Structure 1
Amino acid sequence: MKIVKAAIAGTLESSDLIVKVSPCEDGLDVTINSEVYKQFGEQIGAVVCETLRAFSVTQGQIIVEDKGALDCVIRARMQAAILRGTESQHIDWGKLK
């Protein structure tokens, strides 16, 4: 799957995050900025990568601005941004956790 248009999901409120996706022809470019990166950066990265793999995203720029979100929130925001950015007409509900 490939990101074909810019999309955004989330807020910059405490315990939330913003996920921005946009097209990128050079493969996958993931940037994570977080207030709690020192403590939870590895886990945040794992959830982001797991979600990208679940949707088979291989091309696009992904920017995550985290304000201390839980894993379930990260996953939900990633899913929303990916579905918006890929202009997916069919949702495979089995991929959503």
Structure 2
Amino acid sequence: MRIEKNAIAGTLESSDVQVTIEPSTNGIELTIQSSVMNQYGRQIKKVVLDTLTKLEVEDAAVIVIDKGALECTLKARVECAVFRSLDASHKNVSWEVL
């Protein structure tokens, strides 16, 4: 999947995460800011990269600002940002695959 435009999903509220995705040509460029980076930084990175891989995103600049979100919330925010960048919310998305 090719990221076509900038998109944001999530908020900066406690227990949420904000994911920003932008087009890039340099592979996946991941920036993570988290209030629990010392405890869960590796897992946050893994979830983001695994989700992007599952969606077949190869080139994107991704900024994650985590405020203690659960893993399922993080995954959903990444998916939402990707789909918003493609205007996929107006198209037929194969939700059962996700």
Place the TM-score, normalised by the shorter chain, in its bin. Answer: over 0.9
Residue 8 of structure 1 aligns to a residue whose secondary structure is strand
- In the alignment, what sits opposite 2:47? 47
Q: Report the equivalent of 1:93.
A: 95
Residue equivalent to 1:81: 81
**Cα shift at 1:93:** 1.4
Structure 1: runs of 5+ lacking an equivalent:
none
Question: What is the number of equivalent residue pairs in this alignment?
Answer: 96
Alignment-mate amino acid for residue 93 of structure 1: W
SS where residue 62 of structure 2 aligns? strand
State the alpha-carbon separation in 2 of the partners of residues 56 and 44 from structure 1: 18
User: For residues 49 and 57 of structure 1, do their structure 2 counterparts lie closer, same or farther at Cα, with a shift above 3 Å needed?
Assistant: same
Q: CA deviation at 1:90?
A: 3.2
Q: How does 1:26-45 map to 2 (within 5 A)?
A: 26-45=26-45
Q: Which AA in structure 2 matches 1:11?
A: T
Cross-structure match for 1:7: 7
Find the counterpart in structure 2 of residue 56 from structure 1.
56
The 1-side partners of 2:96 and 2:55 are apart by 10
Q: Provide, for residues 23-73 of structure 1, a one-character-per-residue CA deviation record: whole Å limited to 9, x for no partner.
A: 112222111110100000111111101110110000111100000000010
Cα deviation, residue 85, structure 1? 1.0
Identity %: 45
